[in-house]
Amino acid sequence: MSALIVIDVQNDFCPGGALAVPEGDAVVAPINAMMSEFDSVILTQDWHPAGHSSFASEHPGKAQMATVEMRYGTQVLWPDHCIQGTHGAAFHPGLNLDPADLILRKGYRRSIDSYSAFFENDHATPTGLDGYLRTRGIGTLTLVGLAYDFCVFYSALDAARLGYAVTVVGGATRGIDLDGSVGAAGNAMQAAGVMLR
Ligand code: VGL
Ligand code: ZN
């Protein structure tokens, strides 16, 4: 059984949004066109409370895109984004939501971020997605969406580590590219056995 996992195609990651990914909205049409090819379609939604600890605004004196050391490791400090219930947190209006079996929200605890759809940024606290997929007999995953070098990347690495067959479709994802993070993500995914096409 196969699933298409659509990562964080939300207004704040699209042009005009609070954490806009260059050409982020370009993923919408190819993703919609792929949905019918899979046994299951799963959407993820970055879903932060106001005052989330990943926001630079919570760290006086720290610039956006700087890093801080949290108890769980290094954390990039982002502009305020994807705040629960806001327009920025809503899915891009062009994304077809109807085929989705599951909408998984993540990053909803103030004290910890969650890039991956499988684990929070401590790499230990599960989101429940692995259990959902396993109990449904889904072993083959295709990942698309935003952003290539953060939430798609960490989700793909975790999925490969958990034993799924993982493909990332380049034409249906776009990256932020912070300090060469797009190239680094591609290399790390390839090394982890993720298929890039
Ligand atoms: C993401 C940064 C912060 C993503 C989410 O969806 O890639 N990036 N929150
Ligand atoms: Zn976020």
> Which DSSP string do the residues of 41-61 spell out, in sequence order?
EEEEEE-BPTT-TTBGGGSTT
Backbone angles phi, psi at 59, to 5 degrees: -130, 80
Residue 110's pLDDT band, with cuts at 50, 70 and 90, is very high
Helix, strand, coil in percent for the chain, rounding step 5: 30, 30, 45
Tell me how far apart the alpha carbons of residues 70 and 68 are, in angstroms, rounded to a whole number. Answer: 6
Contacts for 118 with CB less than 8 Å, ≥ 6 apart: 126, 127, 129, 130, 155, 158, 159, 162
What is the model's pLDDT at position 142? Answer: 99
Closest C-alpha residue for ligand 1 atom 1: 151
147 C-beta closer than 6 A to ligand 1: yes
9 C-beta closer than 6 A to ligand 1: no
- Average pLDDT, integer, range 89-116: 98
78 C-beta closer than 6 A to ligand 1: yes
Backbone angles phi, psi at 38, to 5 degrees: -120, 155
164 C-beta closer than 6 A to ligand 1: no
| C-alpha dist (Å) from residue 82 to 5, 41, 60, 87, 110 | 19, 21, 20, 8, 13
What is the model's pLDDT at position 106? Answer: 98
8 C-beta closer than 6 A to ligand 1: yes
- Average pLDDT, integer, range 75-93: 98
Instruction: Please tell me the distance between residue 124's alpha carbon and the centre of ligand 1 in angstroms.
Output: 18
* Index of the ligand 1 atom closest to the CA of residue 8: 6
- Average pLDDT, integer, range 153-170: 98
Look at the pTM and tell me if it is higher than 0.95: yes
Residue 160's pLDDT band, with cuts at 50, 70 and 90, is very high
- Average pLDDT, integer, range 22-28: 98
- Average pLDDT, integer, range 129-135: 98
* Index of the ligand 1 atom closest to the CA of residue 153: 7
Supply angle C-alpha 74, 76, 78, rounded to 5: 155
What is the residue-averaged pLDDT of the chain? 98
Instruction: Please tell me the distance between residue 113's alpha carbon and the centre of ligand 1 in angstroms.
Output: 9
Tell me how far apart the alpha carbons of residues 119 and 158 are, in angstroms, rounded to a whole number. Answer: 8
Catalytically active residues, by annotation: 8, 106, 151
What is the model's pLDDT at position 6? Answer: 99
